[in-house]
Amino acid sequence: MATGVPKTQRDRQIPPHDALSTPLDLSLTYEGKRPATEILLTRPATIQTLWEKPGAPGTATLANQLFYGDNLPILAALLQNPTWAGKVRLIYIDPPFATNSIFQSRTQGDAYNDLLVGAHYVEFLRERLLFLRELLSDDGSIYLHLDANMAFPMKIILDEIFGRGNFRSWITRKKCNPKNFTRKAYGNISDYILFYTRSARYIWNRPFTPWTEEKAAKEYPYLEAETGRRYKKVPLHAPGVRHGSTGERWQGKLPPPGKHWQYPPETLDTMELQGEISWSAYGNPRRKIYLGASAGIPIQDIWLDFKDAHNQNINITGYPTEKNPELLARIIETSSQPGDLVLDCFAGSGTTLAVASRLGRQWIGIDNSPAAIAAILRRFARGLAPMGDFVRSQESPGRRNSQEAQTEQAERAHNTTTVQTMIDDFILSRSEDLSAELEQTLAQWLIWQKEARPGEETKRQALPE
C-alpha cells in the first residue's frame, strides 16, 4: 500500500517549479455573473405576519419561522436582523435540480417549476448562497443537495464562496432502487450532497453505525484470554522519518525504514505495562485496540440507506422531490446541537423543519410555492400518510381544484397517518407584495388548530381581498 510523504519533507526533496510553487485559483466564469457586493445589496422583503401561536415570540426574537415568498429578498431581510444574522448553525437546501421540468404533486397539481438551466441556474443559486454564507455562524455548516446536472459547476461556486479549505465532503446518496434503463448508460441511482463549513471551527458530532456481531467479529478477530474482551491489532508506526525520540530505538527495535513510532518511548512503556502491546512471533510490536472503546463504525461519504419513497407503505406528504426524514436526521444531529438554528430556504414539504423540531432545534423555512406551504402546514397538523393512500385515491367528479383534492385526500388518510404531536410553535409570514394565495390554506390551518386546541384562540392577520 502506498504511503504519503509529508509536504515539508517533499519540499526538501523536490526542486522548486512554477506549477508547484504558484497556487492556481479556480473560478467559474459565465455571462450574467454579478459582483457579490451588488448581490448583497438586494432590496430586503417587507414581511407580513399571517399567523402566530398565542404566546409565541415576535419576529424580532429567535423563534421558528415559516416564510412564503421569493427566498432571495427574504434572506436579505433576515440578514438585516441581528437576531438571525450570523446565528444560523446549520443550512440544508435541496433546490431545483435544473431539470427544465414542472413538478406536480400526487394530485397532479403544479407544485413548483424547475425551468432554470445553465448559467441562469448557477447565478440564481449563487446569489442565494452568498446570503446563506453571511447568515451562517462562524462554526456553522451548509449542505447543498444536487444531482449530476449541476453538482459539478456548483462545487466550483461553493469553493469561491466558502473557500476550498472549507470543503468537507462530497457525499454520494443512493436515491432509489436499480433501474432497468433502455438507453445506453449506467443506471442513475445516485445524487450528491456537498458539505462545506463557514470556517475550520465547526460543530461535528461524528456519526456511527452500530456494530453487528458479524462485523465486530470480523473487524476485531482476537479474544483476550484473561478478560474475554475482543480486540484487533494495529501498527505502532506511521509514515515519515523523525529525528526525535519517536525515531529512536524502543525495546531494542528501530521503527521500519521510512517510518517512526506513533508514540514516544515513555508512552509505549506505559502501554506495555497495561498489556496493550501484542508481540508477534518475529518480535514485532502492535497495539491492541478493544471493541469496547469503539462507538461504532464511522459513517463514510457513500450513503446507501436513505432512499426516496419507493414502496406503498412509506409515509409521505405526496409533495414531489420529498426527501427521507432519516437523511435529514443524520445531517442535523451531526452538524448542530439541540437549541441551534437550522435553515432551509427551499423548504418543499417541510422535512427539514419537521425533523429539526423533533430533534429540539429551532428552524427557519422559506418557500415560494403555495403548494409547498400547504404541504408543510398539513404535515405539521396531520403528519404523514402511507404512499399507497395517495396512489389509490381517485379524483372525485365535481372537485373544484387540486388544492382542495389534496386536502380531502389528507383527511381520508388521517386515520392511518404517522402519530405525531402538532407542530405549531412557529410564526407564518409572507412577503408583503404577494397576493392572497394562501387564503384557503390558512383557513384550513385554523380549522386544524381549533380541532387540536379547542377553546384556544390564534392570531391571524387579515389578508387583502
The reported pLDDT for the residue numbered 419 is: 41
Unique residue bearing C-alpha cell 502506498: 2
Element (H, E) at 266: helix 265-273
Task: Please answer whether residues 330 and 311 qualify as being in contact, where contact means their C-beta atoms are separated by less than 8 angstroms.
Answer: no
pLDDT at 416: 41
List of residues 6+ apart from 293 with CB closer than 8 A = none
List own/partner pairs for 36-41 with CB under 8 A and 24 or more apart: 36/130, 39/126, 39/127, 39/130, 39/131, 40/76, 40/79, 40/130, 40/131, 40/134
pLDDT of residue 26: 86
Cβ contacts of 398-402, under 8 Å, gap ≥ 24: 401/109, 402/105, 402/107, 402/108, 402/109
Please give the distance of CA 377 from its chain centroid, rounded to a whole number: 22
d(CA 401, CA 409): 12
Q: What is the pLDDT of residue 213?
A: 93
* Domain boundary assignment for the chain: 36-205+299-460, 213-293
Please tell me the distance from the alpha carbon of residue 302 to that of residue 322, in angstroms, as a whole number.
20
Residues 377-415 pLDDT 10s: 999 999 888 766 544 544 444 444 554 454 444 444 443
Taking only the tens place, the pLDDT of each residue in 333-392 is 999 999 999 999 999 999 999 999 999 999 999 999 999 999 999 999 998 887 665 445
Spell out the residues 6+ positions from residue 358 whose beta carbon is closer than 8 angstroms to its own: 329
pLDDT the model gives residue 183: 80
CA angle 271, 273, 279 (to 5 degrees): 70
Q: Among candidates 274, 248, 251, 279, which has minimal Cα distance to 261?
A: 248
- For residues 303 and 182, what is the distance between their CA atoms, to the nearest angstrom? 26
User: Per the structure block, which three cell numbers stand in for 207?
Assistant: 456519526
Alpha carbon of residue 177 to chain centroid: 21
* CATH no. for 36-205+299-460: 3.40.50.150
Give the residues of the chain that fall short of pLDDT 50. Answer: 1, 14, 16-22, 100, 103-106, 108, 110, 112, 390-391, 393-400, 403-404, 406-419, 464-465
Q: What cell numbers appear for 101 in the block?
A: 421540468
CA-based diameter of the chain, in Å?
91
